[in-house]
Structure 1
Amino acid sequence: MTLATLSDVLAPAFRDGYAVAGLVCLGWEDARAYVAAAEAEGVPVILQAGPSCRAHTPLPVLAAMFRTLAEGASVPVVAHLDHGNDVAECRAALDCGFTSVMFDGSRMPFADNVAATAEVVRMAHAAGASCEGEIGFVGYAGGEASLGTDPDEAARFAEGTGVDALAVSVGNVHLQRSAGAGLDEARLAAIGAATAVPLVIHGGSGVPAAQRTALARGTSVCKFNVGTELRQVFGESLRAAVLRDPDRFDRVAILSETHAPVAEAARRVLAALKPA
């Protein structure tokens, strides 16, 4: 069994200069492909259940799915709740067997975010799990605008909460379909100098691959969340499988054709974050 916490996989990355991918899952097919990719690359992987996934599949099912994949894997696998909306949801995830939770208080006033995140940190640590928090606000493509992370606030947040990882806003955007101009490395460096915790980049699909590699090897960024670019591959391969034979109706046969393309795309993401 290689079920791991977020701290288990990020502490070595922080020490040795590389990053671990948090891959956003929507179901069994992509989660299984991500673990296969991690095994092929010989690296840990963080399986993430975000809000859209949880709206479709109950938390206990997701926890059991992630834990089952971890138990059969040859590499460390983290079962991570992404963007936990409130303390109760984070508690429910821990009760179900998630080994890591991210509490998203980024829309809250600073003091409220610190207080709520600290509560989730205590709860997670008591359960032998890890907690990620967010300071600043990472916006959405075509939606809410970002609010950049202030380095001084990041330092006070990290100290006041005891988080195991800190998500920051440095030009990254959720749900971006293609790589943008890149992140604000000056702001990121200032945050890294002010804190002593692994940093997390949400919206990794919008970050150029070369910059991901450089930041993984040369900064405190130890986790990149990647979802959109892999969902695009899943959708493209599923569409191709359906159109190849419109008379087919067995979804197991159809969905099986997404495995290889998604696993290959995930391998490219994972390989770019490995140690030099």
Structure 2
Amino acid sequence: MTLVTLRDVLQPAYTNGYAVAGLVTLGWEDMRAYVAAAEAENAPVILQAGPSCREHTPLPILGKMFRHLAEHASVPVVAHLDHGYTFDECKEALDSGFTSLMFDGSRKPLTQNIDETAAIAEMAHAAGISCEGEIGFVGYSGGEGSNGTDPEEAAIFARESGVDAMAISVGNVHLQQHKEGGLDEARIAAIEAVTDVPLVIHGGSGVPVEQRQKLARNTAICKFNIGTELRLAFGAAMREAVNRDPDRFDRVTILKETIDPVEKAARAVIRAFGNQSSKLT
């Protein structure tokens, strides 16, 4: 299998009751480990380039890296722009070979968010790729607070924006290092009752694994974004590799030792979202 769109992997998940992992990348070592993990679990995977990743590596380079991995993978791989904030940024990602654009207008008034997201969705669909939008603002651990998704606004957004997937704010928080509290299942049910698009949870690292499993199986949540949990695994592996031999200085030999631990952590993440092996086509 090879490069696919977000819709390609989320529609089967929506129909069959499982979720797909949106794994946040920062460099070659982790994205390589994520694809290896997906292959080991025989599951699709969404490689995500967020703002901090794009600050470090230009979009055209990331697009080539994602596509190279996808073209050699035995499972479906989505090249996904995470939290694109402008039309131009989304257009650059499209031109760089990404197959999915997430436009984040969640800080904006509803009408403006719909209009700007719809323009991105129209551009994406014209090029044969997918679009994810966000309604309700997902905050940051130790930073900006969240603004929960209103089900009535979610219904309007889903209907008028044309998105293939919709990120919602239901107690999830970005950059959360500990699995605390969990998500508001009543609000999720209320949103699900008035929409018919796959739902997305950003800040999935803070969601207890048992709840991830339950929601993936029983709700329209078809994508969980996981970043912090895997960055912690990467950091621990690199720290151990450096400290074991303080005289080493070759970063290639050091970074290679992060791949297996990150793959192991990513496999555990992917496995929790459902047995997808029988659902790949």
TM-score of the superposition, structure 1-length normalised? 0.99
Q: What is residue 79 of structure 2 aligned with on the other side?
A: 79
Could you tell me how far apart the structure 2 residues matched to 1:73 and 1:255 are? 21
Residue type at the aligned position of 1:250: D
TM-score of the superposition, structure 2-length normalised? 0.97
1:17–1:275 contact (8 Å) kept in structure 2? no
Q: Deviations over 1:232-264 (max 9, x none)?
A: 000010010001001111111100100110000
1:43–1:274 contact (8 Å) kept in structure 2? no
Gaps of at least 5 residues in structure 2 are 277-281
Q: What is residue 233 of structure 1 aligned with on the other side?
A: 233
Q: What is residue 113 of structure 1 aligned with on the other side?
A: 113
Structure 1 position 35 matched with structure 2 position 32? no
1:167, CA displacement in angstroms?
0.1
Please give the root-mean-square deviation of Cα atoms over the aligned residues, in Å.
Answer: 0.7
Aligned counterparts, 1:39-118, within 5 A: 39-118=39-118
Q: Deviations over 1:73-100 (max 9, x none)?
A: 0000000000001111001100110000
Could you tell me how far apart the structure 2 residues matched to 1:21 and 1:93 are? 20
**Moved runs in structure 1, 4+ residues, more than 6 A?**
none
Q: What is residue 138 of structure 1 aligned with on the other side?
A: 138
Aligned counterparts, 1:121-136, within 5 A: 121-136=121-136
Q: What is residue 161 of structure 1 aligned with on the other side?
A: 161
Residue identity (%): 70
1:275, CA displacement in angstroms?
3.5
Structure 1 position 263 matched with structure 2 position 263? yes
Q: What is residue 195 of structure 1 aligned with on the other side?
A: 195
Residue type at the aligned position of 1:65: M
Could you tell me how far apart the structure 2 residues matched to 1:160 and 1:88 are? 21
1:238–1:254 contact (8 Å) kept in structure 2? yes
Could you tell me how far apart the structure 1 residues matched to 2:92 and 2:255 are? 30
Q: Deviations over 1:7-33 (max 9, x none)?
A: 000000000000000000000000000
Residue type at the aligned position of 2:118: A
Could you tell me how far apart the structure 2 residues matched to 1:90 and 1:243 are? 40
Could you tell me how far apart the structure 1 residues matched to 2:7 and 2:95 are? 19
Could you tell me how far apart the structure 1 residues matched to 2:66 and 2:274 are? 22
Gaps of at least 5 residues in structure 1 are none
Give the 3-state SS of the residue equivalent to 1:182 in structure 2: coil
Could you tell me how far apart the structure 1 residues matched to 2:72 and 2:241 are? 28
Could you tell me how far apart the structure 1 residues matched to 2:199 and 2:98 are? 21
Could you tell me how far apart the structure 1 residues matched to 2:183 and 2:146 are? 13
Q: What is residue 245 of structure 1 aligned with on the other side?
A: 245
Q: What is residue 186 of structure 2 aligned with on the other side?
A: 186
Q: What is residue 279 of structure 2 aligned with on the other side?
A: none
Could you tell me how far apart the structure 2 residues matched to 1:157 and 1:168 are? 11
Q: What is residue 174 of structure 2 aligned with on the other side?
A: 174
Could you tell me how far apart the structure 2 residues matched to 1:73 and 1:192 are? 33
